[in-house]
Chains A and B, each alone.
Chain A
Amino acid sequence: MDQVFKALADDSRRALLDSLMAQNGQTLLELCAGLDMSRQAVSKHLAILEDANLIATHKRGREKLHYLNPVPIAEIADRWIRKFERGKADALIDLKKQLESD
């Protein structure tokens, strides 16, 4: 769990996960295109995310596709959110989104 928090504690890495959330299964090149980071930096961040199991990869010929793997985040949520609190937490998040979008 330490590794997951460390991996998430970086703006650039969260931006990479956001990019995969918007479009799953991107190549390194595609991920670089959307972000103001060097290819080397993106590559390094992806390795850290993969080590933390927040990214899963799939080989397509010579290309490597990157997928957001939210399973470790589900484990964190389950540790501190009980079944019947989940609905309330979701309702509060929805309310926040609604108020902030007005």
Chain B
Amino acid sequence: MSDPAFIYTIYIRAPIDKVWAAITDNKTHRSWWWGTHHDSDFKPGSKLTYLRNGEADVEGEILEADPPNRLVHTFRVGGPGPQHDEGYTNVEYTLELTDGVTKLTVTHTGFVANSKLRVGISNGWPAILSSLKSVLETGDPLASTQPDEKK
């Protein structure tokens, strides 16, 4: 595997199972992820779709799932558009329990040269992860990742 383009880590004061459950939640609209619904059973070989207002934001396939420690899936922006044309990248989550705190690491690999997707995700992940931490620790997501207002 190529070297990661990004590695994001965050320490969350919550049990590892709770963090895993949030990442593999397929029932609710994620307040910490712009209200997207992640449609998958999170089993290897299954499809994964991030749905926002009924449309596919991202499509992929689950490559590995080892609850509650590791989840790997492919990631392609829903089409049509230049980011969709860049094809599939890989997202890997690893969860470790250290001193009662869950360390969550997200690595994103496989970008094409001069990737537009790469620019977009470098803004997205930090906001998503800090909002996940906020939800799990306080019950409230951060304002910046709440669903878009209804027009």
Binding site for B on A (CB under 8 A): 24-25, 53, 56-58, 60, 65, 67, 69-75, 78, 81-83, 86
Contact = CB atoms under 8 A, between A and B. Distances in A.
Looking at chain B's contact residues, the main secondary structure is: mixed
A71 B104 CA distance: 11
A74 B123 CA distance: 9
A71 B129 contact: yes
Looking at chain A's contact residues, the main secondary structure is: mixed
Contact of B143 (A24, A57, A75, A82): A82
Contacts of A67: 4, 6-7
Contacts of A75: 130, 133
8 smallest CB-CB distances across A and B, nearest first, come from A74-B126, A56-B7, A83-B143, A67-B7, A78-B142, A75-B130, A74-B130, A56-B9
Interface of B: 3-11, 105, 107, 122, 125-127, 129-131, 133-134, 142-144, 146
Given A70-B126, A73-B126, A83-B146, A53 B10 contact: yes
Given A65-B3, A74-B130, A56 B8 contact: yes
B7 A71 contact: no
Contact of A58 (B3, B134, B143): B3
11 contacts: A56-B105, A67-B4, A69-B9, A74-B126, A74-B127, A75-B133, A78-B127, A81-B144, A82-B143, A83-B146, A86-B144
B93 to A, nearest CB: 13
Contact of A71 (B4, B5, B130): B130
Contacts of B146: 83
Contacts of B143: 78, 82-83
A78 B142 CA distance: 7
Contacts of B130: 71-72, 74-75, 78
B144 A83 contact: yes
A29 to B, nearest CB: 15
A6 B106 CA distance: 25
Contact of B11 (A25, A53, A57): A53
Contacts of A56: 7-9, 105
Nearest to A86: B144
A71 B8 contact: yes
Nearest to A85: B143
